[in-house]
Chains A and B, each alone.
Chain A
Amino acid sequence: MSHDTLAIIWFGLWGLIWAVYFMLDAYVLGTGMLFPFVAKSEREQRQLQDSIGPFWSGNEVWLITAGGATFAAFPLTYALMFSYLYTPLMFILFALFFRAAGLEFMHKDDSKNWKSFWKWGFFGGSLVLALLLGVAFANLFKGLPFDATGYHGSLLSLLNSYGLLGGLTFLSLFLLSGSVWMAVKTSGSVQERGARLANRVWMAAALLVTIFLVATNNKTHLFDNFVAHPVLWILPALSIVSILLVKLFLHKQKWITVFAFISATIVTLMATGFAGMFPNMLLSSLDPAQHVTLYQAAGSRLNLQLMLIVAVIFVPIVIFYQSWMYRFFREKISPENAQGYK
């Protein structure tokens, strides 16, 4: 395989790893953001914790793998992205800790302040992650203010209207995913609340996804590729169709199908962004000549080749045992059998 072909394959793989991460962490982050409002008692809190407890760390490794794949396959992208975006990344790091610690440490002590602190830590960490990841990716789609002399942005410049719209879109999709997860994985009043919430959040999510796609057309150059290759329009079209199908199956209360279509919405939305960026990995909002292409950013041929072998062997294995784990823990968590690990 030529170096360019390998680089393109890796770009696809890179996008796939990110998409899988967002698909999987969506319901965990959503549960975190809804946690203080849905769970009314300690039993119900435990129910929600158990519904994500065995899964969340395996999901988070997809994020680490996404970082690792960027580092390994596209070292230049990694180096530039981390130096340009280091302040938001710092917040993401804090948020990752508070999310994990909130979930895991909340019931390690009976003091009221302790529980309340970590309940809100879980909530805050999840909220910041959902919002910032959305803002970051919207800005990657739109382009970052850098040119030949360096980076000219700040944390505030990321919070532009399109960036914020991206953040809110992610946020609403994650809330939707989280509330449907409750309907899938729990029983009793938590499930009822999740189901009710899902119906309400759906409206916001569908609206935001649509506005986000329209704004992408108006504010970014992502759809230039789509004009050149109209077959790509299938990706945003699938996003819209999926989010509409979510509503249909919400009515029928087919929770697993609903969850599948939310995941499809997230994945096709990410795919839309990545297809629009191709063959660039870092877009400059100041000077298109400064875009960093995947060919420039790619690591050496031998490296890409070896890592492709590693990925081809291990990614399916990971997917296999992770899916097996979901099957293994397929039982609904009722208020009675929720007790955390002992």
Chain B
Amino acid sequence: MSFDPATLSRILTALTLGFHIIFATIGVGVPVMIMIAEWLGIRKQDPHYILLARRWARGFTVTVAVGVVTGTAIGMQLSLLWPSFMKVAGQVIALPLFMETFAFFFEAIFLGIYLYTWDRFKKPLYHWLFVIPVVIGSSASAFFITTVNAFMNTPQGFTLANGAIAAIEPIKAMFNPATPSKVAHVLASSYLTSAFILAAITAWSILKGKGGEYHRKALRLTMIWGLVFAVGTIVVGDLSGKFLAKYQPEKLAAAEWHFETKPQADLLLGGTLDPETQEVKGALVLPGALSILAGGTTNTEVKGLNDFPQELWPPLYVHYLFDLMVILGMYLAVVAGLFILARAWKKKYEWNPWLLRSIVAGGPLAMIAIELGWMYAEIGRQPWILRGYMKTSEGATMSGDVGQMLILFALLYAVLAIVSTSVLLRMFRNNSPELEMQKRGIQQ
């Protein structure tokens, strides 16, 4: 089996982004959870919360070590795999990428201080202050890099004549129409996913019979904030729908198999499509819901795919990616909501094993939702790499080396995956919360 360089470039880029986003998501979200936990610990003078912050921070360093490498790999691959794209877009996205390095400085230097000064200050609040630049740095780098992706969806701030780019306005390009909704969605969903991953680890420990106060506090904390971020993600997701309807209608239409432009458009869940007749079978139909998503009322007219030439349609299977992402997002909100309701109703209900199992499942499912969301974002933009200006196939390299690169990078990611999993497991096993509380003389 042999692929052309453009296909191999797509595979390698998909692999790199799909792997990097796991660590990037944790890297953006976990500092926020650390900040909240330590703050609670200081305010309530509760060593359990402080210990949570400590342990999360230690795990966080592992994901940072991997994220730096995979992020650098993206930087390398951009110009190796997509030279024609970079020739055009490189000039425009240079500014945010350069600014991102200053966000890294902020994060890396203050993380160094934060990790080494747990017991150094008389006032614990001083130590807490050092996590703030880490949070700002990691979220700012997510902001800068997401503006680049937003630019690919709604490019502006330049002119293109005969393949040469001119009249570049980098700031206008950075703050393009896709920037607000995309950045907000990325940040909220990263916080949500990180809260759920930490919750899943805790729920797993409780199911294994470790039901001390420490775990209970951890679960409450992560679930309350999980709910906050889930609601935030859903609200922002709604804004993204409105953004798409206005600026990338073909992407929204493809996600909903919406062919004819009309008001009272329906939202479809699942189903199968006959591409010839454009008929959908077996889908759960939410009448008028697509119009609401697109414009807030059922009377909003939603553009259909038939308004676009067929060669500019995104692949129609994005419907399933979109649906699954939405369903998983809802699942997370429901689980977190149930947990809080159960607790409000009767305290012991929050330790219901089925509830705990749903939380355990929520960790990996949240990460799957992130992957699906990015797949929808990237595949839904096809056939464009730079919407309206350049097709993905035109941006790719002609080099014959991509196959070899694919093998080398796959090897790198395999090493990173094995090492990071193994070190996290060992850290947890060798120094369980129970053992650490014992060592530190914290009442369990």
Contact = CB atoms under 8 A, between A and B. Distances in A.
A105 B90 CA distance: 36
Task: Decide if the interface of chain A is mainly helix, strand, loop or mixed.
Answer: helix
B175 to A, nearest CB: 13
B116 A329 contact: yes
Interface stretch (B95-103, B192-200, B345-353): B95-103
Contact of B98 (A86, A108, A110, A307): A307
Nearest to B102: A314
B69 A75 contact: no
A78 B62 CA distance: 29
Q: How many of chain A's residues touch chain B, expressed as a range?
A: 35 or more
Contacts of A67: 72, 75
Contacts of A110: 430
Q: How many of chain B's residues touch chain A, expressed as a range?
A: 35 or more
Contacts of B105: 58, 61, 65, 314, 318, 322
Contacts of A155: none
Interface in B276-328: none
B108 interface: yes
Interface in B79-97: 79-80, 83, 86-87, 90-91, 94-95, 97
Contact of A83 (B58, B79, B108): B79
Given A60-B68, A79-B83, A68 B98 contact: yes
A249 interface: no
B58 A341 contact: yes
A311 B405 CA distance: 33
Contacts of A233: none
B65 interface: yes
A73 B68 contact: no
Interface string A92-135: 01101100110011001110001000000000000000000000
A273 B419 CA distance: 38
A73 B94 contact: yes
B91 A86 contact: no
A97 B72 CA distance: 11
Most central of B75, B94, B95 by chain A CB within 10 Å: B94
B104 interface: yes
A231 interface: no
Interface string A41-53: 0000000001001
Contact of B111 (A57, A96, A108, A306): A57
A206 interface: no
A267 to B, nearest CB: 20
Interface stretch (B29-37, B166-174, B365-373): B166-174
A302 interface: yes
B109 interface: yes
Interface in B9-61: 54, 58, 61
Contacts of B62: 104-105
A64 interface: yes
Interface string B406-444: 001000100110010001001100100000000000000
Most central of A53, A56, A82, A97 by chain B CB within 10 Å: A97
Contacts of A161: none
B76 interface: yes
B80 A306 contact: no
Interface in B128-168: 168
Contacts of B61: 104
Contacts of A341: 58, 115-116, 118
A71 B94 contact: yes
B364 interface: no
Most central of B65, B86, B87, B98 by chain A CB within 10 Å: B98
Contact of A75 (B86, B104, B113): B86
Given A54-B115, A93-B69, A93-B76, A69 B108 contact: no
A328 B102 contact: no
B212 interface: no
A299 interface: yes
B100 A58 contact: no
Nearest to A103: B65
Contact of B65 (A68, A101, A321, A329): A101
A101 B419 contact: yes
B65 A310 contact: no
B170 A65 contact: no
A100 B65 contact: yes
A5 interface: no
B73 interface: yes
Most central of A53, A64, A307 by chain B CB within 10 Å: A64
B388 interface: no
A265 B424 CA distance: 41
B112 interface: yes
Contacts of A53: 112, 115-116
Interface of B: 54, 58, 61-62, 64-66, 68-69, 72-73, 75-76, 79-80, 83, 86-87, 90-91, 94-95, 97-102, 104-105, 108-113, 115-116, 118-119, 168-171, 399, 401, 405, 408, 412, 415-416, 419, 423, 426-427, 430
Given A93-B412, A105-B65, 5 more contacts: A64-B72, A68-B75, A75-B91, A302-B168, A314-B105
23 contacts: A54-B116, A57-B109, A60-B108, A65-B105, A67-B72, A68-B98, A71-B97, A72-B94, A72-B98, A78-B90, A79-B87, A79-B90, A90-B408, A96-B68, A109-B427, A300-B168, A303-B170, A306-B170, A306-B171, A310-B102, A322-B109, A341-B116, A342-B119
- Listed from nearest, the 5 A-B pairs whose CB atoms lie closest are A72-B94, A72-B98, A54-B112, A58-B109, A109-B426
